[in-house]
Structure 1
Amino acid sequence: MRMQREAMEYDAVIVGGGPAGLAAAIRLKQLAAAADKEIGVCLIEKGSEVGAHILSGAVMNPRALDELIPDWRERGAPLQTEAREDRMFILSAHGETEVPHWLLPKCFQNHGNYIISMGALCRWLGQQAEELGVEIYPGFAGSEVLFNDDGSVKGIATGDMGRLKDGSEGPAFQPGMELHARYTFFAEGCRGHLGKQLQAHFRLNDASDPQTYAIGIKELWEIVPEKRQPGLVIHTGGWPLEPDTYGGGFMYQMDDGLVAVGFVVGLGYNNPYLSPFEEFQRYKTHPRIREFLEGGKRITYGARAIAAGGLQSLPKLVFPGGALIGDDAGFLSASRIKGGHCAIKSGAMAAEAAFDAIVAERSGDELVAFPEAFRNSWLYQELYEGRNFKPWMSKGLTVGALMFGIDQIVFRGRAPWTLHNTPDHLKLLSAASCSPIHYPKPDNKLTFDRLSSVFLSNTNHEENEPCHLLLADPAKAIDVNLAVYDSPEQRYCPAGVYEIVRDANAEHPRLQINAQNCVHCKTCDIKDPTQNITWVSPQGGEGPNYPNM
């Protein structure tokens, strides 16, 4: 007999402790305090603590934070390293061409921005939220959307704890809890699995382009003193990717000798033999990048999908009883390579719409004031001006850079056309029509393998729990993915989760899913050519534990 789930009632429930969810929680409580109202706000976070699952470059524009918490400097927000110098290089295998500063579009210039750890910022935002009275529950994953009889969103249920691998209730089983609210905000980050369900259920994408994505892979290094230049921001295009593949690298120098180095690969690539992880490892061997890292020490590693479709791929933001905010909706300024300020602004605008509705004793309706506020905001203008970045760059580095340069410098983001996006998973070609890519073995000094990298992400999952990576049709893994595409999941996964195993006679191949390695990047949910893989939340508190990513 199933144990009864307990239920708790709030005015607002927020799923996800990233910048969008925390900004929404803070703004609701700020408005309530200013109006002398009592509003119950609950935020759940699937990571073991706020910030544990946060991974971003990150160079942050403080504009939205200035609006949300004007005295953040006095309060000690972890924004210490100002961006002091921008450099952009187009790499070849052995050299580079630096793009003159006067040719850099405004979106690539970072004067006034800060090089930060987004995880550290979220921990600080969590403290601000708790001081205002927000109830924050880390280690609880949202696993189910709850609906009222009229079809509006009632809230969410957290996942059960203590289920065994076969789904049965183990000796330590505890049922999830229901969290009911007038309005529920979904701020799960890119490709949130509840957000994905809501978009299908309410057909929120009917009037928008399909979302397109990239995978970002990042390492944090401590470099030797003589190579430190705090505030240096480097972006690169070109090698090691082929010219027709969207992507590029970055290196951001923080204080205390820490350097964030990473690589982004658009998930619309064609060649199933491409491995974003190995491309990143090759990237670090380029002389321009190697010169900073040699002699240093790698501290941690992680990966995350990035919603890059821009304005034309934003779904409808609201539905009866709730809203999508932050990267759950796709609020990322791909042309500026930034999402933190977009997330904070979207969360704050949604909170303002919800506060007015709560004070008016409404519940379960559509918060139409949120998309209206967005349409009249500086965030809309920013996304509008950069809307053609990803579509142009997806056409290849040379054509993309030229046309986007014209878009930004000549038309200032107001070109009389809007390019459109197509789904990433449809672009993969058959293995037979592509050439294999031969990657060098890691040297364990500058380049590394997947498993040693996952170890540095502090990833942990219970071994005897249900797998959180679901196959709609297990046969497709062999009959289609292996037969046609040579099992690209073995290569696009940055954590070694997927493995083709054969018997002693090299016959009867099967797909083995090493779910304990998963860093929750969601790439498999996006790139699988048959859309056969669905990522769902494992038990709360599991996954990576990033220190300051």
Structure 2
Amino acid sequence: MSVERDVMEYDVLVVGAGPAGLSAACRIKQLAAAAGQEISVCVIEKGSEVGAHILSGAVFEPRALNELFPDWKEKGAPLKTPVTADEIYFFTGATRALKMPNLFVPKTMHNEGNYIISLANLCRWLAQQAEALGVEIYPGFAAQTAIIEDNVVRGVILSDMGVARDGTHKPDYTPGMELRAKYTLFAEGCRGHIGKQLIARYELARDADPQHYAIGLKEIWTIDPAKHRPGLVVHGAGWPLSLFGTDATGGSFLYHLEDNTVYVGLIVDLSYSNPYLSPFDEFQRFKHHPVIRQYLEGGTRTAYGARAIVKGGLNALPRLVFPGGMLIGDDAGTLNFAKIKGSHTAMKCGMIAAEAVAEALLAGNPGGEVLESYPAKFKASWLYDELYRSRNFGPVLHKFGALIGGAINYIEQNWFGGKFPWTVHDLKPDHAALKLASECKPIAYPKPDGKLSFDKLSSVFLSSTNHEEDQPVHLQLKDPSIPIAKNLPLYAEPAQRYCPAGVYEVIDEGNTKRFQINAQNCVHCKTCDIKDPAQNINWVAPEGGGGPNYANM
């Protein structure tokens, strides 16, 4: 039975109020104002407010912001803590570490001129600038599907509100609106659920390497003022992950920003092979290393969150355009993993797309066509050059590990300026990297001490995650039998470990086992959608406003 939906129409619709989407919206309005014309722009955001679902390290490179708002300092952008020092460690064990001399640090890891920020707060500031320019922003509204007519994307349909878990309509049922536009920009962030559908439908990744991902886990701590060093950036590789091999690669960070606050986190590449590995528990024991413990001991943990990170780079970049729309930012995969930064690249990507859209609309185009000017402008930009110079960084680490791979990356970046005469490819998808449980050893993780390390449920509490309980489960199993019938005997059902929020459990009911999904705990990290070995879990958007409510991530 068809549902009658309200319809709103715009020139441009942006799906996602992250750095890419908001930068695109601002740039379109700037260009329209410069031309003395009006372009209507709408931004929708599934979080309860702008920034509620934004999580990043984050050391921020202001290059794109300088271009978008040259007067950002006068406008009060929340860039308060410039980087004052870089330290990089190879963690060689639970109590040992080697500090890398600055001379041997790859150029991409230098942070002179950068800032330690809350990306969530920067997005809130960008939203203010966008609204001042005339952009309409609607948080709490989740795009569920794209409107596709005659193979052209015409906008999106928002999630219905007031649907019960069994699919029936509750008394407050409201059909989701149709938002239609001449051009729709998808800026959903890493592993956007509509972006994933569009990549498949239009075969946008046909000529690209498989996309690669990591999971980033982060906490905010208030520490002893005597230990606080504003502007200090600490990066690490190795323990508790692999240093010499390639079984589980990744890295860590500790950033000192203002107000006796530090960000601490662990990034675990989702190409790891041991199904018993738990990224959450690796992060908790990492904080006990003396290099990290010296700052956190005696402090108070105030926030927790997790998010998948797209890290395939240029080699895995899909085609960016399709009829009526485009992918921007992390929905496309523009993060520069060599710098561990994706905010300035997402912003620039959004700005490039905005210029293509504004040119088309100001020229009187009716919309709906494939805007080839966007990938052309992309390839002519500093963003493409930056991604090209870093194209080998991730594949080299995956193939050779942190120590040897790091040495190769140092040579390429510092001696060759990122222009080796060859390109390294990583062609195995992350979900295919898992070994059978019978080939691996279970990992015995220490119990949390409640001072430096904690359990999942108390951590999820700090993320302020909330979902309406009586709604359809947004973590959909394509085949409900697979977790117990296949994943459990083959891989010891890794979902109970790779999820950083305790969403998935295997319940022992005597003679049978049952797979339980605690969807209310979901922090929208998308790891399950990526790492499930059977590719059986499909993450879709829950009711708008559901999920984490990050304050300063």
Asked whether the two chains share a fold, i.e. TM above 0.5, the reply is: yes
* Residue 383 (structure 2) pairs with residue 379 (structure 1): yes
> What residue number does 2:547 align with?
543
Write out the 4+ residue segments of structure 1 that deviate beyond 3 Å after TM superposition.
none
Cα offset for 1:410? 2.4
Mapping 1:27-426, distance limit 5 Å: 27-92=27-92, 93-149=94-150, 151-243=151-243, 244=246, 245-362=248-365, 363-395=367-399, 396-421=401-426, 422-426=428-432
| Equivalent residue letter for 1:542 | G
> What secondary structure does 1:184 align onto?
strand
> What residue number does 1:6 align with?
6
> What residue number does 1:480 align with?
486
> What residue number does 2:16 align with?
16
Cα offset for 1:242? 2.6
> What secondary structure does 1:250 align onto?
strand
Cα offset for 1:3? 4.2
Mapping 1:506-517, distance limit 5 Å: 507-517=511-521
Residue deviations 1:253-288 (CA, integer Å, cap 9, x gap): 001011000000000000000000000001100000
Q: Output the CA distance in 2 between the equivalents of 1:419 and 1:140.
A: 41
Query: Does structure 1 retain, via aligned residues, the 8 Å contact 2:32–2:362?
Result: no
Q: Output the CA distance in 2 between the equivalents of 1:64 and 1:404.
A: 25
Query: Does structure 1 retain, via aligned residues, the 8 Å contact 2:47–2:53?
Result: yes
**TM-score, normalising length: structure 2:** 0.98
> What secondary structure does 1:256 align onto?
coil
| Equivalent residue letter for 2:378 | F
> What secondary structure does 1:143 align onto?
strand
Pick one of 498, 503, 525 that aligns with 1:497. Answer: 503
Between stretches 351-360 and 300-309, larger displacement belongs to 351-360
Residue deviations 1:123-168 (CA, integer Å, cap 9, x gap): 000000000110000000000100123x111100110000000111
Residue deviations 1:322-361 (CA, integer Å, cap 9, x gap): 0000000001000000000001000000000001111222
Cα offset for 1:2? 5.3
> What secondary structure does 1:439 align onto?
coil
> What secondary structure does 1:153 align onto?
strand
Residue deviations 1:195-254 (CA, integer Å, cap 9, x gap): 000000000000111100000000000001100100000000111113322101100000
> What secondary structure does 1:72 align onto?
coil
Q: Output the CA distance in 1 between the equivalents of 2:548 and 2:292.
A: 26
Cα offset for 1:312? 0.6
Q: Output the CA distance in 1 between the equivalents of 2:431 and 2:139.
A: 33
| Equivalent residue letter for 2:192 | G
* Residue 474 (structure 2) pairs with residue 468 (structure 1): yes
Q: Output the CA distance in 1 between the equivalents of 2:433 and 2:486.
A: 15
Query: Does structure 1 retain, via aligned residues, the 8 Å contact 2:213–2:430?
Result: yes
> What secondary structure does 1:121 align onto?
helix
* Residue 440 (structure 2) pairs with residue 434 (structure 1): yes
Q: Output the CA distance in 2 between the equivalents of 1:17 and 1:282.
A: 34
Cα offset for 1:479? 1.3
Q: Output the CA distance in 1 between the equivalents of 2:533 and 2:421.
A: 34
Q: Output the CA distance in 1 between the equivalents of 2:36 and 2:417.
A: 44
Q: Output the CA distance in 2 between the equivalents of 1:202 and 1:147.
A: 11
Cα offset for 1:447? 0.2
Q: Output the CA distance in 1 between the equivalents of 2:3 and 2:285.
A: 52
| Equivalent residue letter for 1:72 | W
Pick one of 532, 539, 543 that aligns with 2:536. Answer: 532
> What secondary structure does 1:102 align onto?
helix
Q: Output the CA distance in 1 between the equivalents of 2:2 and 2:209.
A: 42
> What secondary structure does 1:265 align onto?
strand
Query: Does structure 1 retain, via aligned residues, the 8 Å contact 2:284–2:453?
Result: yes
| Equivalent residue letter for 1:84 | T
Q: Output the CA distance in 2 between the equivalents of 1:417 and 1:509.
A: 50
Residue deviations 1:106-133 (CA, integer Å, cap 9, x gap): 1000000000000000000000000011
Q: Output the CA distance in 2 between the equivalents of 1:86 and 1:217.
A: 21
Q: Output the CA distance in 2 between the equivalents of 1:420 and 1:294.
A: 42
> What secondary structure does 1:336 align onto?
coil
Query: Does structure 1 retain, via aligned residues, the 8 Å contact 2:60–2:115?
Result: yes
Q: Output the CA distance in 1 between the equivalents of 2:409 and 2:133.
A: 43
Q: Output the CA distance in 2 between the equivalents of 1:105 and 1:398.
A: 13
| Equivalent residue letter for 1:144 | T
Query: Does structure 1 retain, via aligned residues, the 8 Å contact 2:59–2:115?
Result: yes
Q: Output the CA distance in 2 between the equivalents of 1:81 and 1:97.
A: 27
Query: Does structure 1 retain, via aligned residues, the 8 Å contact 2:218–2:306?
Result: yes
> What secondary structure does 1:463 align onto?
coil
Cα offset for 1:194? 0.2
RMSD of aligned Cα (Å): 0.8
5+ residue gaps, structure 1, are none
Q: Output the CA distance in 1 between the equivalents of 2:287 and 2:508.
A: 33
Identity of aligned residues (%): 59
Q: How many residues align?
A: 546
Q: Output the CA distance in 1 between the equivalents of 2:224 and 2:376.
A: 50
> What secondary structure does 2:284 align onto?
helix
Cα offset for 1:94? 1.1
